[in-house]
Amino acid sequence: MNSFFALATKRQRGSQPSSSPHAEFPHDQTAPDEAAGDVAVATECATPGSPRGATAIAGPAAVASTTQAITMQRAAAAEEPVELMAARGLSKSYWKGKHEVPVLHDVDFEVGTGEFVSIIGQSGSGKSTLLHVLGTLDAPDSGEIHFDGRRIDCLSTSRRDKIRNRQFGMVFQFYHLLPEVTTLENVLIPLMIAEGVFSYWRRKREFVERATQLLETVGLSHRLDHKPPELSGGEMQRAAIARSLIAQPRLLLADEPTGNLDRQNGEEVMEILRTLNAEQNLTIVMVTHDAGIAAQADRTVRLFEGRVQLA
């Protein structure tokens, strides 16, 4: 474990957190050294014409309208999932030298708590870019992202990192496992980053038990001490899924989770995702180019040339 300790310590001190760990996001407090940056960001994100601190006095008509809106929301909530994440008007371009390459164009997207939503489209349609923007791995050029009723795209870098680390689980097509440490240690790394080295070591037994149970759930109890180069593609993806779940995230973002697997391994991964969604009510947003895979989700959103295609 010495190499694991040194590696995780290095990542704790200097690198951006990877997926997961669960925290009380709606109640998290801003650290003193973050406060100044967050004040500036909050001003930046304020609605034009609505100064910070201004208070509007609602008249009878406004109160009646608000009451009606609340009643309608409660009625809708009885039939539809509560919205967990929503994006409005997302646009994103990249630059190749002096040439701008538009990728996303005014995209609207939402997912309710407990939903399993697939995003499908051809290569280059903007699927992965959309997922990365939703997961705060990349920033939109314009538009807004809201999570659990709170706008997150305009928060400071450190607070976005914290949300990603504690609220989102992320699975990638090419696994992104660290080759120099074991399967068990790979699964534990998000907790090491979130907890800090000393807190992690105090709770190590608890965390190891949790990671072991997750690896057993995905069928890798016999591979705990194997390193990624000793695993098959399907086993590496299952290890990546276990890593994404170690902190009990509220939202799982999966980018082509079966794209690098043969049919049998792809079906096994989809079975794991469907089980997590059905039995643990885990909200999942999955990107895929495979119509058969996409059809296994509750709902499908189709992208074409960076725009949502209406049915």
Distances (CA, A) of 56 to 45, 50, 59, 219: 19, 10, 10, 57
- The average confidence (pLDDT) of the chain is 81
Q: What is the pLDDT of residue 101?
A: 92
Q: How many domains does the chain have?
A: 1
Tell me the one-letter amino acid at 135.
Answer: G
- On whether residue 64 sits in a domain, the answer given is no
121: containing domain = 2-23+79-309
- Convert the pLDDT of each residue in 154-211 to its tens digit: 999 989 988 998 899 999 988 999 999 999 999 999 998 888 888 889 999 999 999 9
- On whether residue 60 sits in a domain, the answer given is no
The residues near 239 (Cβ < 8 Å, ≥ 6 apart) are: 175, 177, 183, 186, 187, 215, 218, 220, 223, 228, 231
- On whether residue 213 sits in a domain, the answer given is yes
Among 279, 217, 171, 191, smallest CA distance to 8 is for 191
- Convert the pLDDT of each residue in 75-86 to its tens digit: 454 455 689 999
The residues near 308 (Cβ < 8 Å, ≥ 6 apart) are: 107, 108, 109, 301, 302
- On whether residue 43 sits in a domain, the answer given is no
Roughly what angle, to the nearest 10 degrees, separates helices 183-195 and 2-14?
40
- On whether residue 282 sits in a domain, the answer given is yes
- On whether residue 181 sits in a domain, the answer given is yes
- On whether residue 244 sits in a domain, the answer given is yes
Q: What is the pLDDT of residue 48?
A: 42
Euclidean distance between CA atoms 190 and 257, whole angstroms: 19
Q: What is the pLDDT of residue 72?
A: 54
CATH number of the structural domain spanning residue 301: 3.40.50.300
* Helix, strand, coil % in the chain, rounded to nearest 5: 45, 20, 35
The DSSP code sequence of 72-105 is: HHHHHHTTSPPEEEEEEEEEEEEEETTEEEEEEE
Q: Consecutive sets of 10 residues in the chain, 311 residues long: mean pLDDT of each? A: 50 41 38 42 46 39 48 51 91 92 95 96 91 94 95 92 91 92 95 86 94 95 96 94 94 93 92 94 95 94 91 53
Euclidean distance between CA atoms 128 and 302, whole angstroms: 13
Q: What is the pLDDT of residue 134?
A: 96
The residues near 285 (Cβ < 8 Å, ≥ 6 apart) are: 85, 111, 117, 118, 119, 131, 134, 251, 252, 253, 254
pTM summary value:
0.75
190, with CB counted inside 10 A (0-12, 13-18, 19+), is: buried
How many CA atoms within 13 Å lie on the side-chain side of 78? 5
- On whether residue 228 sits in a domain, the answer given is yes
